[in-house]
Every structure is written in C-alpha cells, then in structure tokens.
Chain A
Amino acid sequence: MPIELREVSYTYAPGTPYAAQALKKISLIVRDGEFVGIMGRTGCGKSTLIQLAAGLLTPSAGQVFLDGEDINERHFDRNRLRQKVGVVFQFPEIQLFETTVEKDTAFGLKYLDWSGEKKQAAVRRALEWMGFDFEAVRNRSPFGFSGGEKRRLAIAGVLAVMPKFLILDEPTAGLDPLSREAFLELLRKLHQGGMTVLMISHDADALAEYAGRIVILKEGMLFRDGPAAEVFSDQEGLKENGISAGQVREMTERLRRRGWEIPCGTIRYGQLLEEIAGRWPR
C-alpha cells in the first residue's frame, strides 16, 4: 500500500499578501514496509508534507495517491483513508477528550463496522502496547494521568484502529530518555509487524538507529532522499545546511580523521562498536 505524492505544491493563504509557498513540486513514494525518517529545519515544510500525505490538507497543485487512488478525488472514501493512515501529531496528549480511557482509545473505531468484541480487543491491545494495564485504566478519566502517560494514551488511541501506515510528527520531543527508548522500540516492533512508518524527527540518532530511509527537505523542496547510511555519510553537506547526522556518525568521522578506516556509512551504535571491536586482537 504505497503513498505517492506527485508534484505536490502547497501554498498557505493563497491570494493574500501573506501567501507563503510551503512545498514546491515534491514527488515522493513511500512503499509498503518502509521506515522513513523526515528531517529538515523549522519551516522547511515537513509538517505540511505529512499533512498532505494524510489528507488533512488539500494540495494547491499535484496529487496524492493511496494505493493508486487520488485521495482528493470527490469519490474517494475518506473513511478508508482514516483507518489506513494513523497520524500522531506533536504533543498528541492534547487530543484526549472522552470521559474514560477506554472510550477515548476507542474513538477512532466509532465508524468502523467491527463487532463490539473486536473493538474492545483492539483497544486492549493498543493500551497494552503502550504499557498500560487495560483493566486498571479502562474506567479512569484520561485527564488524571501524568504528561508522559497522557501522550502514551493518545498514541494508543491512534494505534487502536491498526493503521497500515503510521505518520508521526516529533513523537519523542519532551520524553524522558527511558520513555523515548521504549517508544522507539515499540515503533520498531510495529514496523517489523508490517506497519509502514513515516516519522518527522530532529533526533538524528533515533532516525539513524531505526529508519531505513531518510528524506531531508529544504525550503519546501527535496534536498536528500535515500538509504539512511547513504544520506548520513555526507556529514559535511548536511552540516552546512544545519542538519545533524547523529552522534555515531560524528564519532565515525573523528576516528576516520585519525586514520581509522571505518566506512562513512557507519551510523548505528552497534555497527560502530563492531568496527572498533573488530580492530582489537582478542
């Protein structure tokens, strides 16, 4: 189930003195089972891009296809889009509104023709994924939880519909290191289970570790697009444009400058350890 953006442009407030073109003729295909990281500086159009992909904005020009169908066609079934594409916004905890955790998590299932048991099972599974004990939290008010817990509750609400495609905007911003680790591991698990993941992040370390492909935007245009190892190997080029390639890549570079022959594409912590360990006699 690929999502394809074909020559998509987007302009905010068109026809006014405040008009601003956020995206300029972007073409991008995200294939089934990919884990794509999106990077770029503030205002480069990342958020606009994912909102177009999720059908929350309508492009000023160009088309967005889901499974080969134009999602902005009049006849396109929007419900299918909502079920297939889950979106976790920045600070998703603000989207909680129901009186109980169970009802809130089940909100996205409202218009699906699933049986009651199937819905409850989906809610239970989503909450357990996010580390909650379903029986203990189901009847509590979502507003009585701590900030980090609320965020996990909100993400459970997105995961409950079992989207094939998961879009995330800076999901780890403001999480403590342990929660961040746990969340990224969950993403990896979901990805291995067949979910396609598209994640905006400034966290180059996380993307280097988890994403297979990196897309970098600059001033509304594609700046880089390729396998993570390839994109991050050009550390200098990224740095000139204000983008970090991650700590591991930084270390690799320093070691290389000292004459170590480590490939530029060493971007993961595990890889680097292997490289270093391989150089020492047992």
Chain B
Amino acid sequence: MKQLPVGLYQPGSSVIHRLDGSAKLLCLFILLAGVVHTASLPGYGIWAAFTVCLIRLAHIPPGTAFGSAARLKWFFGVILLMNLCFYGPEHPWMRWWIFCPSYEGLIQGIHVVARVFLLLVLSNVLMVSTAPLAMTDAMERLLSPLRLIGVPTDLAAMILSVAVQFIPTFFEETDNIRKAQTARGARFDSPKLWEKAKAVLPLLVPVFLAAFQRADELSLAMEARGYRTDRRVWKKKYPPYQAADWLALLLCAALAAAFIII
C-alpha cells in the first residue's frame, strides 16, 4: 500500500487552518456544549448560519464539509420517524397499534437530527482543517492537566507519538504480508463461520508477530539508553496561544454561553 490513507485533512492556509490545534479542539467542545443546549428551531438556524460562515472561512468545499453527515441520511430518517411515532403519546394526531405520531414528536425529531447534524459538520470542519499530527498534539496538551491527579499523561503522550510513527511502517508491512500470502494461495475468506476465523490467520499472525518484533526491538533500545516510565523525560513545551486563538475561544464561548443561558 504505497498509498497511505490521509483521512479527512486537507492542507490549507486559511484563518481556521492556522489556529492552534488545541484551541480549535477547545472551541469545538464549547460549541458542542452550546449546540446541545439549544432548544428552539430559530436557535438551530443561527447555528447553521454560524457553521456555514466557518466553512467559508476555512475554504472547505461544501461537499467535503457536509459529505460525511449527508451519507447518514437514512440514519437521520429513522431517528426522525422513531421520534415522530413514539415521542409524545399525550396529544397524538392519531393512534394506531403502537404508533402515536404527534406534533411534539416531529419537533423533537427535528431537534435531534439538527443536533447530530451540527455535531458532525462542526467536528468535520475541525478534522478537515487540522493535520492528524496537530490533532494528536492538541489532545495531549488538553489532557496534560490530568497529571495533577496522578494520571501519567506524559507516558500516554510518549505512547501516542510512538504509535503515530509506527503507522506508515505497518501499512507497508501489512500490505507485503497480504501479497506474500496471496501468492501462496491464501483466500482470507470462507463461507463458514469457524473457517472465517481460520482464513484470516495467515494475515493476522504474521502482522502481529512483525509488529511485536518491532516493539521488542524498540523497547530494548529504549531501556538500553536508560529510558524509564517512572521518570518524566518526555515533558513537552507547547507554544503559547496567539491573539487569534484567544479571539476564537472568546467568540465561541460567548456564542455558546448565550444559548446556554437562554
């Protein structure tokens, strides 16, 4: 697999792209809190307008921004129907068997769909405008206060950064193993349930062996150089927030606070 999957990230230089990853992640959480507390249709309208502004600011093509949410249209349909039919049994339009569609149900359904849709599109904007590595850093940074209550976040950060380095190597290795076994006649599939498990062993066993072999080599090398998990060697320095980062946080906080208070 010389073609590494790149996920959603699309390189760019917009204002949104340039914000600090952890600031963006914080903004997302703040915005999501606001969205969850929204309780009226005009409210969702404001959120939708805001989201569209964000997408324009980040220069994200609409297809990319809404694509993953649009693919869930059947799921949204089901949610809407379920809520419509079961939510408000007090004042239904009609009753038939277990179904009792009502106005309250319809509104509730629209709320749930709008909420999930906004959640998806907003997190999509973040993913599209932030490189995977920047995201990892951002998460480490946001989680680092947990150190104060005894969670070894620096160890976790070390583990995550090692994991990231292994990903491309493993892609290539797995692909080589798959090809080698295919050349030996492996089929990786079988109509019978028990045989299905056996059919993928020629792929899985070598992949795990190769991966653990690398883990063995790397941990030996780290121990030989004196790395110990109980000592903090991996403490990272994070760059301070810029004015734009603070501004974005403030804006999001104000918007979310408005919805939570109302």
Direct contact of A and B (CB under 8 A): yes
B219 within 8 A of A: no
| Residue in A85, A94, A111, A143 whose beta carbon sits within 8 Å of that of B180 in the complex | A94
B173 within 8 A of A: yes
Complex Cα gap A79–B184 (Å): 10
Complex Cα gap A17–B181 (Å): 30
Complex Cα gap A96–B173 (Å): 14
CB-CB under 8 A from B173, the residues of chain A are 94
Q: Is the interface of A mostly helix, strand, loop or mixed?
A: mixed
A157 within 8 A of B: yes
Most buried by A among B179, B180, B186, B187: B180
**B205 and A97 contact, CB distance less than 8 A:** yes
Q: A82-B184, A86-B183, A94-B176 are in contact. Are A12 and B205 (CB under 8 A)?
A: no
B193 within 8 A of A: no
| Residue in B182, B205, B209 whose beta carbon sits within 8 Å of that of A56 in the complex | B182
**Shortest beta-carbon distance, B138 to chain A, in Å?**
25
For B, the interface residue count at a CB cutoff of 8 angstroms equals 22
Q: Which of B144-187 contact A (CB under 8 A)?
A: 173, 176-177, 179-187
Residue-wise interface mask of B (201-217) relative to A, using a CB-CB cutoff of 8 A (1 in contact, 0 not): 11001100110000000
Q: Is the interface of B mostly helix, strand, loop or mixed?
A: helix
For A, the interface residue count at a CB cutoff of 8 angstroms equals 29
CB-CB under 8 A from A18, the residues of chain B are 3-4, 6
CB-CB under 8 A from A79, the residues of chain B are 185
| Residue in B4, B184, B209, B210 whose beta carbon sits within 8 Å of that of A108 in the complex | B184
B2 within 8 A of A: yes
**A108 and B185 contact, CB distance less than 8 A:** yes
CB-CB under 8 A from A96, the residues of chain B are 206
**B209 and A95 contact, CB distance less than 8 A:** no
**A107 and B186 contact, CB distance less than 8 A:** yes
Q: A89-B176, A95-B206, A97-B206 are in contact. Are A12 and B184 (CB under 8 A)?
A: no
**B3 and A82 contact, CB distance less than 8 A:** no
Query: Chain A residues in contact with chain B, CB under 8 A?
Result: 12-13, 16, 18, 20, 51, 54, 56, 79, 82-83, 85-87, 89-90, 92, 94-97, 107-108, 110-111, 143, 157-158, 161
Nearest 9 CB-CB pairs, A to B? A13-B3, A97-B205, A87-B183, A82-B185, A95-B180, A108-B184, A12-B2, A89-B180, A56-B179
